[in-house]
Amino acid sequence: MKVKVESFKIVCDCCGDTFHDGNGFVCFVDDFDGGMIRIEAESSGWISMGDKHYCSDCFTIDDEKRIVTKNGHKFDYDTREEIKKE
Protein backbone atom coordinates (compact mmCIF):
# COMPACT_ATOMS: atom_id res chain seq x y z
CA MET A 1 0.00 0.00 0.00
CA LYS A 2 1.25 3.47 -0.82
CA VAL A 3 0.22 6.19 1.67
CA LYS A 4 0.79 9.91 1.38
CA VAL A 5 2.53 11.37 4.45
CA GLU A 6 2.82 15.09 5.03
CA SER A 7 6.05 16.31 6.58
CA PHE A 8 7.98 19.48 7.35
CA LYS A 9 11.53 20.49 6.54
CA ILE A 10 13.39 23.79 6.81
CA VAL A 11 15.28 25.26 3.87
CA CYS A 12 17.55 28.32 4.09
CA ASP A 13 15.89 31.29 2.41
CA CYS A 14 19.29 32.52 1.26
CA CYS A 15 21.36 29.58 -0.03
CA GLY A 16 18.69 26.86 -0.27
CA ASP A 17 20.50 24.44 2.07
CA THR A 18 18.23 21.97 3.89
CA PHE A 19 18.49 21.57 7.68
CA HIS A 20 19.62 18.11 8.85
CA ASP A 21 19.44 17.29 12.54
CA GLY A 22 22.19 15.37 14.38
CA ASN A 23 20.70 12.04 13.31
CA GLY A 24 20.52 12.96 9.64
CA PHE A 25 16.77 13.59 9.60
CA VAL A 26 15.60 16.18 7.10
CA CYS A 27 11.81 15.96 7.54
CA PHE A 28 9.67 15.58 10.63
CA VAL A 29 6.38 13.81 9.98
CA ASP A 30 4.82 14.21 13.43
CA ASP A 31 5.50 17.94 13.72
CA PHE A 32 2.09 19.33 12.86
CA ASP A 33 2.94 23.05 13.11
CA GLY A 34 6.64 22.86 12.22
CA GLY A 35 7.66 23.99 15.72
CA MET A 36 9.76 20.97 16.64
CA ILE A 37 11.99 21.14 13.58
CA ARG A 38 12.33 24.92 14.00
CA ILE A 39 13.60 24.42 17.57
CA GLU A 40 16.04 21.74 16.36
CA ALA A 41 17.33 24.05 13.61
CA GLU A 42 17.76 26.99 15.98
CA SER A 43 19.67 24.82 18.46
CA SER A 44 22.02 23.98 15.57
CA GLY A 45 22.78 27.62 14.73
CA TRP A 46 19.99 28.39 12.28
CA ILE A 47 17.76 31.43 12.85
CA SER A 48 14.05 31.91 12.13
CA MET A 49 12.15 35.13 11.49
CA GLY A 50 8.48 34.42 10.83
CA ASP A 51 8.40 32.13 7.81
CA LYS A 52 12.04 32.91 6.88
CA HIS A 53 14.89 30.61 7.93
CA TYR A 54 18.64 31.12 7.55
CA CYS A 55 21.50 28.68 8.08
CA SER A 56 24.49 29.77 10.16
CA ASP A 57 26.52 30.47 6.99
CA CYS A 58 23.98 33.00 5.68
CA PHE A 59 23.64 35.54 8.49
CA THR A 60 25.67 37.60 10.94
CA ILE A 61 24.76 39.76 13.90
CA ASP A 62 26.18 43.27 13.54
CA ASP A 63 27.36 45.76 16.21
CA GLU A 64 23.86 47.24 16.46
CA LYS A 65 22.31 43.82 17.28
CA ARG A 66 20.72 43.45 13.86
CA ILE A 67 20.58 40.16 12.02
CA VAL A 68 22.06 40.74 8.57
CA THR A 69 21.59 38.05 5.92
CA LYS A 70 23.87 37.44 2.95
CA ASN A 71 21.01 38.29 0.59
CA GLY A 72 20.68 41.80 2.06
CA HIS A 73 17.83 41.51 4.56
CA LYS A 74 18.14 43.06 8.03
CA PHE A 75 16.09 42.05 11.06
CA ASP A 76 15.84 43.43 14.59
CA TYR A 77 17.47 40.84 16.85
CA ASP A 78 14.90 41.12 19.66
CA THR A 79 11.64 41.41 17.70
CA ARG A 80 12.79 39.45 14.60
CA GLU A 81 10.96 42.02 12.46
CA GLU A 82 12.51 43.02 9.16
CA ILE A 83 14.12 46.46 9.04
CA LYS A 84 12.94 48.11 5.85
CA LYS A 85 15.46 49.99 3.73
CA GLU A 86 15.14 53.75 3.92
The pLDDT value recorded for residue 30 is 67
CB within 8 A of 82, min separation 6: which ones? 49, 73, 74, 75
The pLDDT value recorded for residue 31 is 65
Per-residue pLDDT of the chain (86 residues; tens, 9 = 90+): 988 877 778 899 999 999 887 777 677 666 666 677 788 888 889 998 888 899 999 999 999 999 999 998 899 999 988 888 76
Query: What are the Cα distances from residue 70, in Å, to 8, 21, 28, 36, 57?
Result: 24, 23, 27, 26, 8
